[in-house]
Amino acid sequence: MQKKEKRNKIKETLYGLVLAGGRSSRMKRDKSLINYYGKSQTEHCFDLLSRCCQRVFVSNRENQSDLPGHKGLPQIQDTYDKIGPLGGILSAMAKYPDAAWLVLACDLPFVDQQALNALIKHRDKKKFVTAYKSTKDGLPEPLCAIYEADSGSLLLKFLKEGTTCPRKILMNLDVCLIKQGKEGSLENINNEEEYQSVCAAIKTKDFRKKEIQLSYFACIRESRGLSEESLQTDAVTAGDLYAQLQDRYGFDLTQASLKVAINDKFSSWQTELKTGDRITFIPPVCGG
């Protein structure tokens, strides 16, 4: 009975890992420090994972520990030499062997909160890994995926046999594959040309923003300093919107402690938004 309870507890432990230890040889500058969204990709990925994981760490090399965007964040240094992202994943598993890991590479600039939430929603804890299916070849996408604690010993086995490519490993494991919500969301960048293309795409994304009206009540109104505002957002769902507002305004309340109304009707956090929606966040009674 105790073993079963321990195993169930392990299954509920989900840590986040930002893979930021790559040498960026083709990019010729550290990809973990690139700024697309007003902060380094390391910090951006860390913030995304922090909204859906119990603890989050940056996987890097020892000589990166004091870099801007790394310094001050919890880190797990890679203890494996020159085997790429597999080394970062194995180093994290060695540090916390009872946790499952949601890993996210820092060179995936189009991954958003919706993509991570969907991965968690469709997580199959009976499989070794839950991953997205590539839109190009249908193969597993290993660098935005959930690795169950049980998968650690198998990853080591493949390493001992000389396989260091995470995709090749996942192709030979019992993996839960899910469909990507938005095509291109797992595109990675490796050179200056791709970087310029991503920057242009992010600017173009502004044209797809929705105009919405927000209302705040009680302590969330006090935190924001106003009761209403209009803004443009590219958030897909009400949950995505609140995650953006948390990042922008530093709201402390979690989604679980709030209710959301859309156009004066209580709604789910998964409800998709459209231009003209009126969104109201309703917190519990605050204060003493």
State whether the Cα torsion 124-85-69-35 is positive or negative. negative
Residues 214 and 186 in one domain: no
Q: Where is the domain boundary, 198, 221, 237?
A: 198
Q: Where is the domain boundary, 149, 179, 198?
A: 198
What is the pLDDT at residue 208?
Answer: 56
What is the pLDDT at residue 25?
Answer: 81
Q: Which of 165, 15, 19 is nearest to 95 (CA)?
A: 15
Number of domains comprising the chain: 2
User: Whole-prediction pTM value?
Assistant: 0.72
CATH code of the domain containing 234: 3.10.20.30
Residues 183 and 250 in one domain: no
Residues 110 and 244 in one domain: no
Residues 187 and 249 in one domain: no
Model pLDDT for residues 188-240, shown as the tens digit of each residue: 888 888 889 888 887 766 545 778 999 998 888 888 999 999 888 888 889 98
Alpha-carbon distance 85 to 59, whole Å?
9
Q: Which residues are CB-contacts of 181 (< 8 A; sequence separation ≥ 6)?
A: 114, 115, 118
Alpha-carbon distances, residue 272 vs 36, 197, 268 (angstroms): 25, 28, 9
Q: Which of 242, 109, 95 is nearest to 188 (CA)?
A: 109
* Cα-based angle 219, 220, 223 (whole degrees, multiple of 5): 85
214, 279 Cβ separation under 8 angstroms:
yes
Q: What percent of the chain has pLDDT over 70?
A: 93
Model pLDDT for residues 155-194, shown as the tens digit of each residue: 999 999 999 999 999 999 999 999 998 778 898 888 888 8
CATH code of the domain containing 52: 3.90.550.10
Residues 90 and 220 in one domain: no
In a domain, 287, yes or no: no
Model pLDDT for residues 100-142, shown as the tens digit of each residue: 999 999 999 999 888 998 999 999 999 999 999 998 899 999 9
Alpha-carbon distance 218 to 137, whole Å?
50
Give the bridge partners for 103, in sequence order.
17, 145
DSSP per residue over 20-31, as a string? -----TTTTS-G
What is Dmax (Cα atoms) for the chain?
A: 61
> What number of other Cβ atoms are within 10 A of residue 7's Cβ?
12
The overall average pLDDT reported for the chain is 89
In a domain, 248, yes or no: yes
